[in-house]
Amino acid sequence: MGEQVFDVVFIGGGPAGYQGAIRAAQLGMKVAVVESRELGGVCLNRGCIPTKAIRASVEVLSRARRAKAYGIEIETARPDIKAIIARKNKVVGLLRGGISQLFRSRSIEHLEGTGTLLSPREVEVETANGIIRLKAGKIVIATGSRPSIPSPFTGLTGENKGVLTTDDILEVSRVPASLLIVGAGAVGVEMASIMAELGSSVTLLEMKDRILPGEDLEMASYMTRMLKRQKVKVLTGLSVNEAAVGDKVTVMLSNGQKWEGDAVLMAAGRVPNVESIGLRAVGLAENGRPLAVNEHMETGISGIFAAGDVVGGWLLAHVAFAEGITAAENAAGLTSRMDYRVVPRCVFAFPEYAAVGLSEEEAKEQFPATAFSFPFKSLGMAQALGEWEGMVKLVVHEKNGQILGGHVIGPHAADLVAEIALAMRHQIPAKGIVDTIHTHPTLSEAVLETAQAACGQAIHMLPGEHTNK
């Protein structure tokens, strides 16, 4: 048994772990990262990046099918799922190698193995070559999460069994002819849209009364219409009572309706990876729940921090990045605090949806607020691109002009929402966006036009066309 000494050890090399490790190294700490699978975690290997790589291929397919509208003649456009998956794997491999290179450049020790807490200052690592014991001044738990499998589907997951997790769907060798997606949050909506474009007959199931629960009602309704245009069947207010796998997958719904098809995709949430990492050995509760931390990302045990999906909350990679960096800075002796007041979120469907802050409904419950919107169809760049579906909406405080929420559905929504998030984070009112010259012609002008409407300066809209009050 070998023994090594570090200033900080990260258990987990996903978004929180790898970014936290790099930040700790920047601050002069001797750093080790213990990872049982691939560096980059779910986001890079089985989530954000591979999904977007597949989506990029599907977007090319969609554009090719619409080529005639752009004056281009193409005889046939059809997907090759094996080639799409191969391209996805190439992208993932390239980025994973980039993390390894960043680690080497910062002298961060990457240990491939399973980490277990022995004490508040010791971690045992089981590797292919034996056991290594690490002594650490500080420890950061960043073990991530895994897909939740509700009881009707327990024991039925795997491509050969017909019930897929979000991990499995990214490795399929064929597109299911018919697919039931359980859960219509961000992941479920995104995958429904992508798989429909690939030719699957998709049914999207949500137990609540609408898709994208918790998001702006107008935007969720708009996305529902877009999904139906893709021939996605949307079922809300229903859950699964029973499931069985034979030649087909059979699912009995709570209203007595039977669904039968090729595959089911589970998109009904995630659970934290807190088992078998030695929580009890350091005095932390091992109850299957996310780890409790304070604003410094420190647990109830001094010197032990946690970040990313393992602490619950948003379950977003970009939030995990911030949490990992916050944990690293506090482990290094700085005083850093997590601020969750302005967190953008996005859905990479066709079209994209992104939001930050409060929905129109939430804002009007808490403040005197008015919503203003601007349609992409009125924007020159959107028309030039042939991507004019959707809108930008700003929910603005009536007394001070502060932006309470921003919502974008349409082309490059996930990029456009960043400007709104920046304004909200630094308390820049809508007038601040108006006073900033925006490049023309660009999609970002949709944000400008919406802010102009909020300030009574709407340019490319008829009077009264922009207010949702």
* Binding-site residue positions for FAD: 52, 115, 143-145, 309
In the chain, how many H helices and how many E strands? 12, 22
CA-to-CA distance for 280 and 393, rounded, in angstroms?
Answer: 48
Q: Quote the tokens at residue 231.
A: 């021939």
Between CA 262 and CA 296 the distance in angstroms is: 46
**Structure tokens belonging to residue 386:** 């042939």
Q: Look at strands 403-410 and 352-357 and give their pairing.
A: antiparallel
The total number of residues written for the chain in this structure: 469
Quick one: three-class SS letters along 193-228?
A: HHHHHCCCEEEEEECCCCCCCCCCHHHHHHHHHHHH
| CA proximity to 308, closest of 144, 152, 172 | 144
Decide if 440 is catalytic.
yes
Q: How far apart are CA 316 and CA 321, in angstroms?
A: 9
Please count the other Cβ atoms lying within 10 Å of the Cβ belonging to residue 242: 11
Kindly report the backbone phi and psi dihedral angles of residue 86, in degrees, each rounded to the nearest multiple of 5, phi listed first.
-65, -45
CA distances for 90 relative to 171, 172, 411, angstroms: 13, 16, 26
- The two tokens of residue 412 are 């490059």
Q: Strands, E, within 310-411: which ranges?
A: 345-347, 352-357, 369-375, 391-397, 403-410
Residue 329: strand, helix, or coil: helix
Residue of 397, 440, 460, 466 marked active site: 440
Amino acid code (one letter) for 136 = A
DSSP 298: B
Whether the CB-CB separation of 413 and 407 falls below 8 Å is answered with no
Q: Could you list the residues known to form a binding site for NAD(+), using ranges.
A: 183-190, 206, 269
Q: Which residues are annotated as a binding site?
A: 52, 115, 143-145, 183-190, 206, 269, 309
Q: What number of CA atoms fall less than 13 Å from residue 74's CA on the CB side?
A: 16
* Strand partners for 115: 125
State the CB neighbour count (10 A cutoff) for residue 61. Answer: 18
Which residues form the catalytic set?
440
